[in-house]
Chains A and B, each alone.
Chain A
Amino acid sequence: MHTLDLVMRQDQDYFPIPIEIASLLPDQLNHRRVSEGVEVVVFSEDNDRYFIARDICPHMGAPLAQARLCRKTGTLQCRWHGYIYDSGTGEMKENPNDKLFTKIKTAFQSYNPLSTPKYRIKRLSYEAAEGKIFVRRGAANET
């Protein structure tokens, strides 16, 4: 798709501020503003694909820009509670606190591990053209 086409569609379909591909640092989370009050995190995967998500952890809203990205394990670890997400699918893989607090978690009647929601970082879809990434507005879509 040509940039001009995208520009024409930008208002309704895309956030107004594109991400310059050349500005992205490899192997790390990049933090970008794509519109007034809308921030995203982005990192490049293999084959010119990008992982883009709102800068909000689905657990309690911590900035994902402060998460730790590990390419080796393919994970993103949030800074607030340390929840570990799959950096490909965005699905939550592990709550490391289950180990740190095993002894007492189970001692509280209020604890019900089966009721933990399936947190998931939703990937935003995008179009890349002429060195820019245009992030799609609206409900999160799978790329």
Chain B
Amino acid sequence: MKHKFQVIEEQEITLANAVGAYLDCEHYVFLHGGIMPEMFAEKLEGRRITYRQGLRWGFLRSAHIFTTEYFPPGHFRTFDLKSSPKWMPSLHHVVKMVIDVRYTKHPERDTTLMQFDVELDMPFWLWPFRRILQGIMERMHYKKDQEDIEMIQRRAKIFGPHNISSYLAEGQFLLFKDDYVRHFGASARHSTDSPATSAARLL
């Protein structure tokens, strides 16, 4: 039985920053350590990356493997979630999840529309718990987004809202950086300062 839900939210950050933050995988386990204390990238195939991720659900800990595919410029699909190791009891044995996160520019303002779509394919005996599952997923997603937005807005305050030079900097690792540069590089033409340089100037 399929349960679908959607969250759409306007975020007070630019599209280039929202997508850049998603591709900036170096922050995942540090900024979001409360919900994903461990994460290893296992495999890259085209625009698909397979991760092994440790999770915390209150006092409980579990791990799972999943794949995220990037559809430039701002769409990420997560699917094929499995427990790790395979014999470990997990919801993933009985519920199939497909999670789509889409970032688009707000049609009127310089903000970002974040669209979170989830499809849960579950057995009938789990159906009565679908809203609980939905609530947990929405809360986790919201918490993660808030952590990102807090940092991005702070950086925007210091270096300017359109300054994405830290993502474009040669030494900065970004997933699918070539795609990112192709789609968002032009928006940074007027802000070529590196944050490190600007920070130094602030001192």
Contact = CB atoms under 8 A, between A and B. Distances in A.
A111 B26 CA distance: 13
B27 A140 contact: no
A107 B44 contact: yes
B64 to A, nearest CB: 16
Contact of A104 (B44, B166, B199, B202): B44
Contacts of A82: 26-27, 29-30
Contacts, number: 99
Interface in A77-102: 77-82, 95, 97, 100-101
Interface string A109-123: 111100111010010
Chain A interface SS verdict (over half): loop
A108 B41 contact: no
Q: Chain B interface residue count: which class?
A: 35 or more
Interface stretch (A5-13, A21-29, A41-49, A51-59): A51-59
B31 interface: yes
B202 A54 contact: yes
- Which of A54, A61, A97, A107 has the most chain B CB atoms inside 10 A of its CB? A61
Given A81-B30, A95-B26, A104 B49 contact: yes
Contacts of B202: 54, 56
Interface of A: 54, 56, 58-63, 77-82, 95, 97, 100-101, 103-105, 107-112, 115-117, 119, 122, 124, 138-140
